[in-house]
Structure formats: C-alpha cells, structure tokens
Amino acid sequence: MKLHNGRVLWQGGRPLPVTEPIPADPGTGGQDKTMAYRILRSHATEMTERRISVRFDSLISHDITYVGIIQSARAGGMRAFPVPYVLTNCHNSLCAVGGTINEDDHAFGLSAARKYGGIYVPANQAVIHQYAREMLAKGGGMVLGSDSHTRYGPLGTLGVGEGGPELVKQLLRDTYDIPRPRVILVYVTGTPRHGVGPHDVAIALCGAVYQNGFVKNAVMEFAGPGIASLSMDYRFGIDVMTTETTCLSSVWETDGRVEAHFRLYGRGEDYVALAPQEGACYDGMIELDLSAVEPMAALPFHPSEAVSIRELTAHPAEVLREVERRAEAQFGRPGVLSLTDKVKDGKLHVDQGIIAGCAGGMYDNIVEADAILRGAQIGDGYFNLSVYPSSMPVKMELLSRGIEYSLSAAGALFKPCFCGPCFGAGEVPANHGLSVRHTTRNFPNREGSRPADGQLSAVMLLDARSIAATAARGGVLTSAADIDYAPPEPVERRYDPAPYRSRVYQGYGKPDPTVELKFGPNITDWPPIPALPQHLLLELASVIMDEVTTTDELIPSGETSSYRSNPLKLATFTLSRRDPDYVPRTRAIRQAAAGELPERYRAALARAGFDLARLPQLELASAIFARRPGDGSAREQAASCQRVLGGAANLCYEYATKRYRSNCINWGILPFTLDPDPPFSYGVGDLLLLTDIRAAVAEGRGEIPAQVITQGGVYPLGLHLQQINQTEKEILLSGCLMNWYAAKMR
C-alpha cells in the first residue's frame, strides 16, 4: 500500500500525480469532477469555497439513539418526518438489563414511526447497515445515520455517521454544515489471494492511514480495475471499516455488480453509473494492490494495530507481551491483562470466535467460513464460535442452501440478527480471555469487560475466513491462507422479501398525528441545560493522558446502552471504565455551583484578580482534558452525559473525529484545543477562569485567554476556539441545540 500526499489528476482512466500548480478554485481545479463532489453538489443548499450545507435523502438510527433524537426533534417542533427515517432495533435487542426498558424503547419507536411517518424494523430482523444496503441507500444519494459506521459507498451513496443532534437538524429541515472536505483517491488494483477476505484489506488500510491522519475528515473515493473482481459483500466489508480511518465518508465507482444488487432487491431504478470524470482532481491517493494483502490481525486495542497473521504466529509471545505492556500503561497497573500464557508450544490459542454485524455477518463471509469448516469439528475445549447473520433475508438464504446446517454441525452457534458482540452486549469473554472477531472495533472494554472491577479481556479483529480456519483447529490461531480449501463457487444470490413484508412497518409519507407515543418509565425528557454565562470557572474533573480516548471510554457501551433513553441515569456511567471517580467529582462540583459559591472558589477567583462583584454573572462547571478524545462511535451521549453532569468544556490537543467535536458543540460543550508545546501539566481539581467568555464566543474570537488557578499559583493558558460557524456560535451561546430550537420557536 502506497500513500501519495499531493494532488492527483484522473486522466485516461488512471491517476496521475501532478506537481504543476492547479487553479485554486475547486470547481475549475477538477474537484467537482470527483464522484464525491458531484453527489455533494446535488444535495447542497449552499456551497462556497470553504463550506458546504447539505440535506440528506434519508436518515437511519438504531435503538440506542432514536429515542433521544425523536425526543429532541419533538421539543424543536417536529410534526412529521420530512424524509424517509428508518428506525432499526439491532443494538438493545436483549432485555437482560433494566427489566422492560429495552422493549419499552422499541414500543416507543413503533409508535413514533406511526405518528410521524417512519420506517420501523423490529428487533432481530436486520442490523442497521445491512438493512440500509438492502432497502435504503441509492446511487448518487446521501444517507445520514446516528451510527458511526454509516457507510454505503459501494452503492454509489455517500453515507455519513454523526451524533443524534445532526439528525435532529435534518428532521427540523435544517442543514448539515461542514468545511469542504478533501477527497482522497483509493486506486484499487490486483485480485485478493487465497484466504484473504475484506477484513484483511480493511485492517491493512486502517494500519496505513489511521495514525498519520492521512484521510481524516476526508471522503475516500474508490476506483480502479481491482474493484471489478470484488463481490458486493467484499466491497461492503472494506467500505464499512473506512470509519476506522477517521474519514468523513466514502464512495466507490459502480458497475454491473452494483446494478445487479439493486435489481436483486427490487430497486433497479436506484442504480446510478458513477466513475471519476476526466480531469477529476484529488487531494491525495492511496494505491491499494489487493494481490499484496495477506491475512491480517488487528491487535488489541484498535483496528489500526495491524499485523499479518504470518508475523503474529511466528512470534506470538513477543507480540502479545507488547499488548500487555500497552494495557499496563493505559490502565495504570501491572498484570491488568494476561495474554502471553495463551502461547503453548509456540502456538497461540484463542478462546472465542465471533462473526457478526455489518462487517462480518454478510452472506459471502459466512459461506466462505462454511467452506473452510465443512467436515471439521470445533471441539469441546474452551474455544467457541458464534455466527450472527446480518439480516433475515441473509439468514433465509443460508438456511435454504444448507449453510447454517453445515456450520451448526461443525459446532458453530447461530444467533439472531444483532449487533451486540460488536459493542459488548452479549458474548463477553472471560477475564483475560482473547476473542477473535469479524466485527468493526476492538477498543478496550468495548467487548464488555470492566477494568475498574478487575475484569479485562481483549479482542483481536480477524476476517471470517481466518476465524473459521482457527475454529477448524480448535482455537489455535491459523491463517486462512494456510488452509487448503476450495472457495465456494459463485451462485446467483436470491432475495426473499417475506420477513420485511411481514414485519417491517412502512409508514413514510403516512404520518398519523392521532397516534399517542408510548412512553416507558425509563424514557425521560432532557433536563434543563443552562445558556453560556458571561464568565465561566471550570474545574478539571478528569485529566486523561492516553494517546487517544474513545467514545467507549467516555460513555461505555454494552449494558449501559439500556439507559440511553434516560439521560440522568445514563450519565452515572460517564468515564466509569476509565476514570471511575469522574462522576463523584462532577456531582461535588455541581453541588458547589448550585448554591452560594464556596469560599475556596472565591479565594481562588480573588487570587486571579477576578472582581467578586461580578459573581452573579459567573458559573462554576466541570471540564475534562484528554489529548485526543472522541475516536469511535458517533453516539451523542459521549458529550451529552458530560453536559447533564454540569460539564461545559473539553480541552485537548486535537479532536479524534469531526463527529465528536460536533456532538460537543450541539450539547453546548466548548470544544477548546490548545498547543501541545508546552505539554498540558495541570491536574484534577485545578481551575480555569474564562472571563468574558460569552462575549468572546459571540464575537467569534478564535483565541481565548484563560487563567489556570492551582495551589501553587495563577498561570496564563492560551485556548483555541476555531472553525466555529454562525449556527454553531448561536448553539453554544444558547447552551445546546435544544435550547437554540426552543428559542427559534418562541
């Protein structure tokens, strides 16, 4: 894989790196000839040299996010869904935590679909992105989803994953506003080797571009002769993992296979032929030679920790010891994770295999896993294998062709169409367990363990093919390239719409305002959020020096997902697996802010020269510092939970993703950045005084002077608040997006 960091022109059906100057105007420079910008322009309400405002064709959410989105849109005055809005139920499908509350959310979702004219996909019918691939995404279209893996590029669709407030804006007929994104060409050549699957390609891609930020907030545009050899499932499997590169979206050139996909699902009219136009100009290029990719593993704790299975099996103890050292550094205690004892006689033994979700649970992956396992037995040891098909139509096709029967005979367990193992709801490994998964992420404790309680297990991402090869050898890590198997012959895929026809509520365009929403006892309104005060005193409630802080650490997934419809209850889990004392600290700060300001804060303000006569205009709030927060999930709760606990700011060197920064803004959290030199050296309990912060935001100042008040003295600190547009400015001044809409209604 080669990276070209410079302009690239598309000429004669091939990319040509250029060194001569290209006109500054993006239109005349060829950017508008990319697939990405042709789609963006067709959806833009406004497009300037710097920014784009767009409206999406459709929206999609799952049952962790849709309740809060609909509640917020109701508060903003929504009367009907203005575009098709799909509500899937693939995350909170287990009623294992909290009694009735998961199913209460589902009842709310169906009642909302009936009242506002939505599409409701009941639990265990399909995982969110598979349903979109089958029934929603269209060529040349745009889909906004409240899930970070909203990616439908192989269909010629720009899918964007964002936090819930961005969907609220679309439901209230506002726009999605972003800086003009860069477009990075992914030029695909070659043909995959024996045993190499889409996850191998995706892991190699993440390893090449994540750490260096090569595609951060850009659109990845896939083109080239290598695409023709890839099935649709193979393309989807690579595409969905582009989220882990931190890009904004992705799109692929389309061909006859794409057209056949649309025809299969009865949507032939949704096919659009797409390819780069002559003279298309790109901001960089990745040369992806499929024939050079070998079976890969993503080591704990990130999809970009890429290593070939060949290297891993040659030196397992050395590689795993490094994983253990990283765990010790991250969690601050020795021996927190033990993996090297899984190496026996030079071979690495794993405990669990999972093939699931929008990345792993597709038909082709499961069929190829069956080809590898056919006639084998998983055995009666500690290793077990579970398979989660991505939709009921996929499951029915597997049933009709005998694939589920064959895999079950080998010892695999078939589960519902459910995303749970991907984010820690079900299939949690034992303490110090090592799971190999064809799912999207392997962040720390995302598999469901609780480090604060002395529990930690690990996930290594593998393609379904190598998971099946490992299962065939009873859990000994094995590359699919080392298994002599005959790949299944291509067959004409079949699609039976019966499950969707029987169970999916198709209500778009048919809102019924007489329907009463069904509220369970856990579904609560958002608490009042204050507007930005004139002056702000921030107390650091958490300081995290990890290289990256994921949204799963900011607000854990797994069983906490059951409380997504109860903002105050969910907030009690904030940073619980990374900094368990954060919530008690924020509660103490809120209590201090609720009454007359305690003397210790008054004394600190006096030391900083603040006129105490201005106290009525000052508010005390909490803040966190993390070096690079927000990698991972799009869910807004990573920010909203801080806000309902009294958080008012994030400080960092850089935001890991655009979507987390947007979530902060939409929840009224000031998204400060600061220079890494000198390094941030302040700790929990230190105070930051922001005098006249409301005026600074109102005037659009990008540089915000602050004073840090510590036990040892008062020190200046320069904060940056840059790239805030007019709407974002108004949201921050209002205190949050809901307040902003409420003010507009008044």
One domain for residues 665 and 727: yes
One domain for residues 314 and 455: yes
One domain for residues 302 and 285: no
- Does residue 488 lie within any of the structural domains? no
CATH number of the domain at 275, please: 3.40.1060.10
CA atoms within 13 A on the CB side of 30: 20
One domain for residues 133 and 280: no
Confidence of residue 420 (pLDDT cuts 50, 70, 90): confident
Residue 26 has pLDDT above 50, yes or no: no
One domain for residues 247 and 307: no
pLDDT in tens, 677-719: 999 999 999 999 999 999 999 999 999 999 999 999 999 999 9
One domain for residues 304 and 246: no
**Domain edge (last residue) among 176, 199, 227:** 176
Residue 505 has pLDDT above 70, yes or no: yes
- Does residue 578 lie within any of the structural domains? yes
- The mean pLDDT value for 512-516 works out to 97
Output the six-digit token pair for 325.
Answer: 């050292």
- Does residue 372 lie within any of the structural domains? yes
Strands 44-47, 85-88: pairing kind: unpaired
Q: Which domain holds residue 72?
A: 58-176
Query: Sign of dihedral through CA atoms 566, 569, 571, 574?
Result: negative
One domain for residues 151 and 109: yes
Q: Model-level pTM greater than 0.95? A: no
Asked if 155 and 41 touch (Cβ cutoff 8 Å), the reply is no
- Does residue 194 lie within any of the structural domains? yes
pLDDT in tens, 279-329: 999 999 999 999 999 999 999 999 999 999 999 999 999 999 999 999 988
One domain for residues 263 and 240: yes
Query: How many domains does the structure of the chain reveal?
Result: 4
Residue 96 has pLDDT above 60, yes or no: no
- Does residue 510 lie within any of the structural domains? no
- Does residue 497 lie within any of the structural domains? no
- The mean pLDDT value for 527-555 works out to 94
What is the per-residue pLDDT for 29? Answer: 67
Separation in Å, CA 437 to CA 298, 387, 423: 10, 10, 12
Confidence of residue 633 (pLDDT cuts 50, 70, 90): confident
What is the per-residue pLDDT for 627? Answer: 96
- Does residue 119 lie within any of the structural domains? yes
Residue 196 has pLDDT above 60, yes or no: yes
Quote the CA–CA distance of 414 and 387 in Å, as a whole number: 5
- The mean pLDDT value for 134-160 works out to 97
Confidence of residue 115 (pLDDT cuts 50, 70, 90): very high
- The mean pLDDT value for 732-742 works out to 94
pLDDT in tens, 72-94: 999 888 999 999 999 999 988 77
- What is the chain's mean pLDDT, rounded? 93
Q: Return all residues near 184 (Cβ < 8 A) that are at least 6 apart.
A: 214, 215, 218, 219, 220, 221, 247, 282, 283, 284, 285, 286
pLDDT in tens, 575-599: 988 899 999 999 999 999 998 999 9
Query: Sign of dihedral through CA atoms 59, 64, 66, 72?
Result: negative
One domain for residues 276 and 326: no
* Rg of the chain, C-alpha, whole Å: 25
Quote the CA–CA distance of 745 and 398 in Å, as a whole number: 51
pLDDT in tens, 430-472: 999 999 999 999 988 888 888 778 888 999 999 999 999 999 9
One domain for residues 67 and 112: yes
- Does residue 526 lie within any of the structural domains? no
Compute how many other C-beta atoms are within 10 angstroms of the C-beta atom of residue 695. 11
pLDDT in tens, 559-572: 677 788 899 999 99
Strands 51-54, 176-179: pairing kind: antiparallel
What is the per-residue pLDDT for 178? Answer: 94
**Domain edge (last residue) among 272, 292, 312:** 292
What is the per-residue pLDDT for 481? Answer: 97
**Domain edge (last residue) among 273, 292, 311:** 292
Residue 98 has pLDDT above 90, yes or no: no
- The mean pLDDT value for 595-606 works out to 95
Residue type, 698: A
One domain for residues 474 and 350: yes
One domain for residues 104 and 150: yes
CATH number of the domain at 334, please: 3.30.499.10
